Amino acid sequence: MSEKKNWPLWEIFVRSKNGLEHRHFGSLHAADADMAMENARDVYTRRNEGVSIWVVESKHITASNPEENGEFFEPAADKVYRHPTFYELPDELKHM
């Protein structure tokens, strides 16, 4: 199985219940999308975790660079007013 070393990495997203979004569950190796789907079923949903699976080859994901975290994320840190917590809500409004 020297081939195995060349199997690409896939990212697995599982939706656990109807109405909830797919969440990233982890990653695994597979030769192609079909195999990735079966492997994902066997590795990540055997404890009844899911009703839907997405697989995407890891190379298709563009990730932000941790070295750029400063310029990327820190400017948002002192802008609390962007949270919608400054509105006065009427008492009749529940579950907000």
Partner 1 sequence: MNFTHLREKNKMNTETLKDYILEIADNSLILGQRFGELCGHGPSLETDIALTNMSLDLFGQVRSYYQYIAQLSEEEKTEDDIAFLRLERDYKNVLLVEQPNTDFGYVITRQYFFDVFHLMLMQQLQYSKDETLSAIAKKGIKEVSYHKRFSGDWLKRLGDGTKESHERVQKAVNDLWPYTNELFEMTEAATAATEAGVGVDAGQLKEPYYKEVSELLKEATLEVPESKYFHKGGKQGVHTEHMGYILSDMQFMQRTYPGMKW
What are the residues binding partner 1 (CB under 8 A)?
1, 3-4, 7, 28-31, 34-35, 38-39, 41-43, 46
Q: CA-CA distance, 58 to 77, in Å (whole number)?
A: 30
Q: Closest approach of Cβ 15 to partner 1, in Å?
A: 19
Q: Closest approach of Cβ 30 to partner 1, in Å?
A: 7
Q: Closest approach of Cβ 52 to partner 1, in Å?
A: 16
Question: For residue 39, how many other CB atoms are within 10 A of its CB?
Answer: 18
Choose between 52 and 69: whose C-beta lies nearer to partner 1.
Answer: 52
SS3 of residue 74 by DSSP: helix
Burial class, 93, CB count within 10 angstroms (exposed 0-12 / middle 13-18 / buried 19+): exposed
**Main-chain phi, psi angles of 7, to 5 degrees:** -60, 130
Choose between 22 and 29: whose C-beta lies nearer to partner 1.
Answer: 29
Choose between 16 and 45: whose C-beta lies nearer to partner 1.
Answer: 45
